[in-house]
Amino acid sequence: MPKTMPFLFPLLAAAGMTLTLCAHPAVAAPVKSIKIATQSPLSGDQSAVGVDIKRGAEMALEQLGKPLADLGFKVDLAPFDDQANPDTGVANAKRIVSDPAILAIVGHYNSGVQIPSSEVYHTSGLANVSPANTNPKVTTRGYSEINRIVGRDDVQGLVGADFAFSHGVKSVFVVHDKTAYGQGIAEFFKKRAEEKGMKVFGFEGTEEKANFDALLSPVIAGNPDLVYFGGMTFQAAVLFRQARERGYQGMFMSDDGFDSSDATKIAGQTLLDGTGTYYSTVSGPASVYPGTAKFIQDFKTKYNADPQPFAAQGYDCMAICLKAIENAAKAKNNEVPTRAEVAQAIRALKDFAGITGTFSFNAIGDPTVAQYFVIKVKSADPAKWSENTVVETLNIAPPK
């Protein structure tokens, strides 16, 4: 206050006036709003798994978002429904990359959707962490933005064939759904089966969903020890049920696309008949991981259901994105990082402790070690799908 100011008060008082001194209010720091997207099938035949991938990511954001909030960030989830359709996934991807607030994406479920969609992410430098995509091409393109926390079909197919051989299978009929995922893993299975000396009676692709009579005729005639299906449960379960109804009593086997409680909704007791039904997967039931007990309980409390396969992986992918954004932000004085900085921070994570494992990425975005499981269907009750019996667990590094 200037030295002359006190002399004003008597003059103002004589005139019946007052003087109010106003301090400038403190200016609040601007909120730094960012988003993390998800893409998975939220509707249609594969929504049981796709919705829970989104839910897992949603839970991770709610439970692990505080460090970024403490840095002044507001992080929102931006979920997208890819409908298990490549065209829809690509259209969504274009919308996602056009929103500058989106710094990373968790997804997808189907490799056939992830591969074309991730071309869009790559072009825009947007980091993608996949909880479920297993086709080798997801990472072998060498894109610095694209990562996954699960294993690959060129290993999973071998795991399935090795298991079948070790359980006395000498002959097999292989069916696939003609997708990048289903045909790819079926081809790896077939190659390994032949290397092991198994007779492959047939290798057929089909997009049929309801009536497999024509395809089953050579299966019934040849009566192989095993029918293997590469693809998703909504086709495999119908095929397996109809094979049992026509009298086939051998073993069924599929891949992680089969890993959904919808299988028993469709095929029920027929999956338990004969010599049983098995599937290989890169994602065991959530209960097999030592770090998931709290996740399972929290999930059941929030959603009133057990988590479907890959829900816990959705949680871990979101956790990775959050930590990478935090690290990238701290590296630039808590400012909003660029997409490139987030992508670099994800690839730079070492021994990140998730609930389904500890993750480091190699030079192309594969986990340095991945788990593979072979599981036997235990019950015809869909509510008990998570209780299926794990008969084999393997830890395998990715191919070089």
Give the pairing of strands 358-359 and 352-353. antiparallel
Q: Which residues of 247-268 are buried (b: 16+ CB within 10 A; e: fewer)?
A: ebebbbbbbbbbbbbbbbbbbb
pLDDT at 3: 42
pLDDT at 208: 96
Residues 325 and 339: their CA atoms lie apart, in Å, by 9
Domains, in order of start, for the chain: 32-151+287-368 (3.40.50.2300), 154-281+374-396 (3.40.50.2300)
Statement: residue 32 has pLDDT above 70: yes
CA distance 328 to 196: 48
**Could you tell me which residues are beta bridge partners of residue 175?**
204, 229
pLDDT at 21 over 60: no
Among 19-33, 133-147, 382-396, the range scoring the smallest mean pLDDT is 19-33
Average pLDDT over residues 102-109: 98
Q: Determine the residue type at 343.
A: A
Mean pLDDT within 321-329: 98
DSSP SS3 for 87:
helix
pLDDT-above-70 percentage for the chain: 93
Whether 172 contacts 200, CB under 8 Å: yes
| Residue range 339-358: mean pLDDT, rounded | 98
Q: Is the pLDDT of residue 19 over 50?
A: no
Asked if residue 227 has pLDDT above 80, the reply is yes
pLDDT score of 28: 56
| Residue of higher predicted confidence among 1 and 247 | 247
Which positions ≥6 away from 149 have C-beta within 8 Å?
A: 129, 130, 131, 313, 316, 317, 320, 354, 356, 357, 359, 367
pLDDT band at 57 (very low <50, low <70, confident <90, very high): very high
Q: How confident is the model at residue 14 (pLDDT cuts 50, 70, 90)?
A: very low
Question: Mean of the pLDDT values across residues 326-352?
Answer: 98
pLDDT digits (tens, 9 = 90+) for 149-180: 999 999 999 999 999 999 999 999 999 999 99
| pLDDT score for 31 | 79
pLDDT of 1 reads 41
Instruction: Single out the residue of 222, 151, 231 nearest to residue 187, CA to CA.
Output: 231
Contact assessment for residue 200 and residue 174, using Cβ atoms and an 8 Å cutoff:
yes
pLDDT at 8: 41
**Average pLDDT in the 86-102 region?**
98
Contacts of 10 (CB under 8 A, 6+ apart): none
Distance (Å) of CA 378 to CA 183, 226, 250, 271, 286: 27, 18, 16, 9, 16
Neighbour tally for 73: CB within 10 Å: 19
Rounded CA gap, 169 and 193, in Å? 9
Distance CA 170, CA 106 (A): 40
pLDDT above 90 as % of the chain: 92
d(CA 362, CA 347) in angstroms, rounded, equals: 8
Query: To which H or E segment does residue 172 belong?
Result: strand 171-176
∠ at Cα 288 (286, 293), nearest 5°?
A: 60
Residue 366's pLDDT band (cuts 50, 70, 90): very high
Of the candidates 342, 343, 399, which has an alpha carbon nearest to the alpha carbon of residue 369?
399
Residue written as tokens 């933005």? 145
Cα–Cα distance between 129 and 142 in angstroms, integer?
A: 14
Q: How do residues 379-389 score in pLDDT, each as one tens digit?
A: 999 999 999 99
110 neighbors 87 (Cβ within 8 angstroms)? no
pLDDT at 29: 62
| Strand 370-376 with 389-396, pairing | antiparallel
